[in-house]
Amino acid sequence: MTRALTYEDIVELRKDLKSLGVATESQNRLPLFEATLRATYKVRVYEGKYGKLVVKGRLGQAHKSLLETILWKSEIHSFVEEDGMRYLKVAYDEDKIRRYLSQTENSKYSYQKYKALLEDMIQTYIELKTDKLRIQGTLLMEVYKSEVKKPAKSKSPIIPTEAPLTVAKFGAVGTALFEEELKFTYDPKRITELDNGISQAVVRFLLTHKSHPKAGYHLKKLVTSLEENVEGQKWWDIRRFLKKDAERLQEIGIVINFKEDRLFIPDGRLKV
């Protein structure tokens, strides 16, 4: 009889496990996740330098922050074969994720919001075409409790001394992206602390580039990789949102000259 996997087994297995990263090329270079923290259900169609995309559902930067945090703080991951299909599975500590996403110390991200974001990622249908990949489906297939329990640090007699890990089973699109594309590893914390979705999307886009032009980026051209429409009032709103985050963006290593609409990375790298 096969012995059931324990948390101690996971700790040992993790030592030799190759990093999965927290993002891939298409996730950050295409508007797979809308450049807003208040995404609404819609059908989005986009075609640009990095590929073609159809998204039917609700995906925004809040969803991206949750996904990145799950991957950044994951306990273990594996690619598995089930019913002739290949899936990525990621096990994580739910409480740890919610604490890390919280913007205040000693608190947790709303459980209702956390569950809603996961449900959106399970329900949103995606069609993606790039030079490397043609795939359709969802980011996530399901999220469920594992039989593996992690010891909990608590001195309270009413709080359990162990809690089950949570498993995110990725869908066809999510699995293919992490299996086939170039992956990036960074701590999402400083990105999640930005107040506006467009600011978060810009940082994520720039993190996928090894080098940056000394003459800077043309701001509007850069944003067209992240937004479906940047004309008229929409463009002025984007500039206003970026201005609100200008100080924090500068701390990350991004300087924007709004008079000339140019974006610079003075040190050549971002500090996240």
With a cut of 50, which residues of the chain have pLDDT below it? Answer: 1
| Domain end among 150, 184, 218 | 184
Q: Residue with structure tokens 């069609």?
A: 127
- Please tell me the predicted confidence (pLDDT) of residue 95: 94
Domain-located, residue 120 = yes
User: Do both 164 and 245 map to the same domain?
Assistant: no
Q: How far is CA 16 from CA 13, 19, 153, in A?
A: 6, 9, 26
User: Do both 242 and 121 map to the same domain?
Assistant: no
Contact 18, 81 (CB under 8 A): no
User: Do both 144 and 115 map to the same domain?
Assistant: yes
Closest CA to 89 of 149, 50, 146, 158: 146
User: Do both 167 and 207 map to the same domain?
Assistant: no
User: Do both 134 and 238 map to the same domain?
Assistant: no
Count CA within 13 A, CB hemisphere, residue 43: 1
Q: How far is CA 198 from CA 9, 67, 141, 161, 252, in A?
A: 41, 17, 27, 41, 15
| Domain end among 128, 155, 184 | 184
Domain-located, residue 272 = no
User: Do both 70 and 168 map to the same domain?
Assistant: yes
Count CA within 13 A, CB hemisphere, residue 64: 33
Range of the domain at 206: 194-264
| Domain end among 184, 213, 236 | 184
User: Do both 136 and 219 map to the same domain?
Assistant: no
- Please tell me the predicted confidence (pLDDT) of residue 159: 61
The average confidence (pLDDT) of the chain is 94
Q: Are strands 76-82 and 255-257 parallel, antiparallel or unpaired?
A: unpaired
User: Do both 33 and 57 map to the same domain?
Assistant: yes
Domain-located, residue 189 = no
User: Do both 180 and 221 map to the same domain?
Assistant: no
Closest CA to 247 of 209, 187, 196: 196
Q: What is the DSSP letter of 34?
A: B
Closest CA to 177 of 129, 233, 228: 129
Q: Residue with structure tokens 């169609």?
A: 45
Domain-located, residue 270 = no
User: Do both 171 and 223 map to the same domain?
Assistant: no
| Helix, coil or strand: residue 9 | helix
Domain count across the chain: 2
